Amino acid sequence: MTGAAESGDRGELVDAVAREVADELRQRKSPVAGFRPKGATAAVEILDELREANRIVSEKAAPDEAAAYRDWLHSAAKEAAEAAKEGGFMGFHAERVSEGEQRMLDQLAEVLSAR
């Protein structure tokens, strides 16, 4: 998030959202403070929330801005999934992206492609 805010090269909408999120993070505020997905249904709730965000952006933003927003969300999710290896022993034979993370990334790609 902060990388997109600092680079300012993803389009006006993404840059504005990224700056706002980065400002909240610097102030130690959570940009998703009111969103609390629950246990077994967390993935569904997260995807539903992103589906709704995609719907709003697709309706309100210019097509190129909406596409940049979708790309940005998917890139951020992928970077988060790749941030740490899972499994293995002391880093050996560990996976960069677990099966569960890959499933979620695939589902996210579907949600963000639906307009």
pLDDT digits over 35-55, tens only?
Answer: 888 888 999 999 999 999 999
What pLDDT is attached to residue 80? Answer: 85
Q: What stretch of H or E contains 61?
A: none
Long-range CB pairs of 52-56, under 8 A, 24+ apart, other chains included: 54/111, 54/112, 54/114, 54/115, 55/115
What pLDDT is attached to residue 22? Answer: 84
The reported pTM is: 0.76
Q: In 1-115, where does DSSP find H-type helix?
A: 2-7, 12-26, 42-60, 63-81, 99-113
What pLDDT is attached to residue 97? Answer: 82
Q: Which residues of the chain, if any, have pLDDT below 70?
A: 1-9, 85-95, 114-115
First to last CA, the chain: 23
